[in-house]
Amino acid sequence: MQKLQIIAIFNLFLQYKTANKMKKEERQKAILEYLSKEHRVTSIELSEYLSVSEDTIRRDLKELSDQGLLKAVRGGAVAPSPIPLHYRKREKHDIENKKIIAQKAISYLKDGQVVFIDGGTTSLALVASFPYDLKLTVITNSFPVATLAEDLPNIDLIFAGGKMCKTSFTTSSIETVDFFRSFRADVCILGICSIHHERGVTGILYDDSMLKKNMVQNSNFVIALSSIEKVETAESYFVCPIKDINVLVTNVSPEDEILKVYQNTGLIIL
């Protein structure tokens, strides 16, 4: 009899664990769906929305953050960048919107400028739109950018050496960072992974993010290129605050609702 009681209690325990596990899975799914619509959410909002304690929400956010499904921040969470990590996947992603961004940004480039161009695929779309007679000195760590720029007769190309990152097809090492410190660019073309009005510009890869930070610090004028899906997202590695950017170029109207908070900082939006 005692053995049957123990088995019954154990079965009840398993049912309790299963039910709670399913509740947690459903709750976390709801958190991700909520975040996909709002881009940023607080623990208080989620607590009220899901009728659970803030402590429960904080545990959920930590688990989801550890899985890379969101970025837990103080008081809540923000969405991660939806962009593929590998260059080969990114070059085929959202091609038409990259062309729109490139056409908007080209007006800021003038003959005689020294220009940093990083390894983003949107930056590559900008180089692909260069007028044949544009006269620039291009300094880049991107193999694809260098290949395009080399074909233009009036582009003086300076390539930053160092160890190649096979994920991004760029050089990204201590030697590369030191190389960029030797120059002061008129303009920095910054292809970004994520931008958030509080967390600033952030990146997925540590070395690449440190290199972007160095490019920004050694430029007189910074143009950030970002599709709207990257706006109000965040990643792990800090590049720069919003105040270090002069122009944000997107594929939508500057009057889009999600961009208002950036306009309020004085940032030029194209």
Token pair belonging to 64:
């989801």
Across 72-91, average pLDDT: 61
Q: Is the pLDDT of residue 11 over 60?
A: no
pLDDT at 247: 95
Do 93 and 18 have their domain in common?
no
pLDDT digits (tens, 9 = 90+) for 233-247: 878 789 999 999 999
Do 180 and 258 have their domain in common?
yes
Average pLDDT, the chain: 81
46: containing domain:
1-78
Do 16 and 36 have their domain in common?
yes
Do 34 and 103 have their domain in common?
no
Overall number of domains in the chain: 2
pLDDT at 159: 92
Q: How confident is the model at residue 82 (pLDDT cuts 50, 70, 90)?
A: low
Do 219 and 104 have their domain in common?
yes
Do 53 and 160 have their domain in common?
no
Q: Is the pLDDT of residue 101 over 60?
A: yes
Q: Is the pLDDT of residue 263 over 60?
A: yes
φ, ψ for residue 95 (rounded to 5)?
Answer: -60, -45
3-state secondary structure 63-128: HHHHCCCCEEECCEEEECCCCCCCHHHHCCCCHHHHHHHHHHHHHHCCCCEEEEECCCHHHHHHHH
Do 126 and 212 have their domain in common?
yes
Residue 20, domain CATH: 1.10.10.10
Does 85 or 172 have the greater pLDDT score?
172
Q: How confident is the model at residue 157 (pLDDT cuts 50, 70, 90)?
A: very high
Q: Is the pLDDT of residue 123 over 80?
A: yes
